Amino acid sequence: MPGRVAIVTGAGGDIGRAIAATLLADGYAVLVADIREGAARATAEALKGEGRVVEASACDITDLASVAAMAATARGLGAVVALVNNAGGVTSASLQEATAGDFRADLALNLEGAFNVFKAVEADLKANRGAIVNIASVNGLGVFGHPGYSAAKAALIHLTHMLAVEYGKFGRRANAVAPGTVATAAWRARAEANPNVFEEARRWYPLGRVARTEDIANAVSFLLSDKAAAITGVCLPVDCGLTAGLADLARTFTQSSD
């Protein structure tokens, strides 16, 4: 795909870096964007290799001027054909501790930020029959804490539906990926507070493990590829079965060890 550019926001983090690496292997030129310029540059440097085109961009997705500058940098690499809205973050863990400011901040970052980036490359994706993958969360499908973040991710899933329906006539596809727990640096504070947090989480997952960053990246790669040419408007949970059902609860209801 010479000159075919994929934008990955939040690429300074573990999941974004894995997505960028996979898309580079798929043959895209990749713009890695992150609000932390150093993290974006570190990702780009780590992923550079023979025949690979990867560029870093400092970008605050809540700031329209910053987003416009990032989009211009992406166009300098070639035709923008893929957008992965991966940047996100959380503030309050519960409604009881959340402030109005916390809630607005979560909506701005996790929902409005994705919209801002989409609008900045809307014409490119339309002209190039591009594809979008929004990184949502199982928090957008059920109640797992972090209210502002969860509400924003639920809205992001619905925005994905709207993109798929309204822009399908241009040949453009939009899908979402909803990760469950992924062992990343974002969990560092919780892991430091409770070193057994991942072991405790595993019991809720039918596969007996949490997802890896490459699991998320592989799902994104598929949804952007021609193998998913007839798939648009879906939210694909990559959650080791969490949203399918809870085995411990089923055993309680049935009193069966199976």
Active site residues: 149
On whether the CB atoms of residues 19 and 216 are closer than 8 A, the answer is yes
Rounded Cα gap, residues 126 and 80, in angstroms: 10
Letter string b/e over residues 134-173, b meaning 16 or more CB atoms within 10 A of that residue's CB: bbbbbbbbeebebbbbbbbbbbbbebbbebbeebeeeebb
Best CA proximity match to 151, nearest among 166, 140, 160, 159: 140
Quick one: tokens of 86?
Answer: 């991966």
On whether the CB atoms of residues 33 and 11 are closer than 8 A, the answer is yes
